[in-house]
Structure 1
Amino acid sequence: MIFTKLNRKTQVNLILQCMGMLIGTITHLLWIIKHGFFSAEYNVGVLSMLFWDSLTFLDPIAAFLLILRPKAGIWVTAIIIVADVLHNGSLCVNVLLSTDVPVISWAKNEWMFWMQLFFGLFVVATFKGNLIALKTNR
């Protein structure tokens, strides 16, 4: 198994990313259990609903790939988190621009986005090092 041959730092990076993707899975799964697929509670368009509901299935695939097939896993994870941060970030900015809510209140209300952004920055920051470790198999 490639994962066990990687250096400890890379293993920790992949485990943390795996945990982040599983947290995303749980978040989407809990939403679907409470509101159902394509819920009107999203208060967004159909494409956004489809995107978020699809993450219920894509996030755990990425999580397992990070351990079982790390090279594919880091690519899939990076693509998912970058797309998710861009998508959710645009929605968050639209909320800020379309309401009179103070910026501080807006920032507090969007705490889940900030956590996602920090996770996304971690994934992007470790991407190259993880790829190098996988190529050298250390």
Structure 2
Amino acid sequence: MEYARLNCLILLRKKNSPERRGYFSIPCLLQNWSGMRIPNLERRSFLLRLIYALCLCGATWTHLQVALVHGLSWDYGGAAPLTRIYWTSLLFIDPLTALLLLLSPGAGLILCVAVIVTDVVHNSWFALHHPIRTDLYLSQIVFLLFVAFTVRTAWRGAVSRSAALRAAD
């Protein structure tokens, strides 16, 4: 336990030294700080779910800004009714998903995948008919790719954590 903390501090101290330039490990910061040993798969799953949740909080902020400026019943410049309902609902679905990712990982991961897939599909359809902000659209695609390439690890870690908790009971 103490060795892991010391090792992390040494890595941080050597961060700017020539032989370690550019090397920095986020998991090192979170490693064993609670005094509990967490298997690597569970730690990676948690970190991925935390990244997903932070991205969804950013999306929530975007939807909240729109709601604060225009209100919940804004027509998004004449968008179709289902588009308006979908985009407004994301103001509530995104933070719920972020919360579930941390409190109920299985449900959170399923909802996260559903949200980002439907969001990119819907916005791709919308972009065919209307101009959109390219920066926001590209960030959604990058997030979709990140989730697609990492969700398996997040799922396996969440499932193994769940199985370990059931076995402990």
Give the TM interval when normalised to the shorter protein. Answer: 0.7 to 0.9
**Equivalent AA in structure 2 for residue 55 of structure 1:** L
**Equivalent AA in structure 2 for residue 57 of structure 1:** F
| C-alpha distance in structure 1 between counterparts of 2:63 and 2:152, whole Å | 28
Deviation at 1:79, TM superposition (A): 0.4
| C-alpha distance in structure 1 between counterparts of 2:112 and 2:77, whole Å | 24
Deviation at 1:72, TM superposition (A): 0.7
Across the aligned residues of Structure 1 and Structure 2, the Cα RMSD in angstroms comes to 2.0
SS of the residue corresponding to residue 79 of structure 2 reads coil
Structure 2 unaligned runs (5+)? 1-37, 165-169
**Equivalent AA in structure 1 for residue 86 of structure 2:** F
| C-alpha distance in structure 2 between counterparts of 1:42 and 1:66, whole Å | 33
Matched residues, percent identical?
Answer: 27
**1:45 counterpart (73, 77, 80):** 80
**Deviations, residues 79-131 of structure 1 (Å, cap 9, x unaligned):** 011101100111113337xxxxxxxxx8xx41100001101111122122211
Aligned residues: 124
TM-score (norm 2): 0.67
**Contact kept in structure 1, 2:57 and 2:95, CA below 8 Å:** yes
Larger Rg over CA atoms: 2
| C-alpha distance in structure 1 between counterparts of 2:110 and 2:76, whole Å | 31
TM-score (norm 1): 0.81
**Contact kept in structure 2, 1:92 and 1:110, CA below 8 Å:** no
Structure 1 unaligned runs (5+)? 97-105
Q: Does 1:55 align with 2:79?
A: no
- What corresponds to 1:17 in structure 2? 52
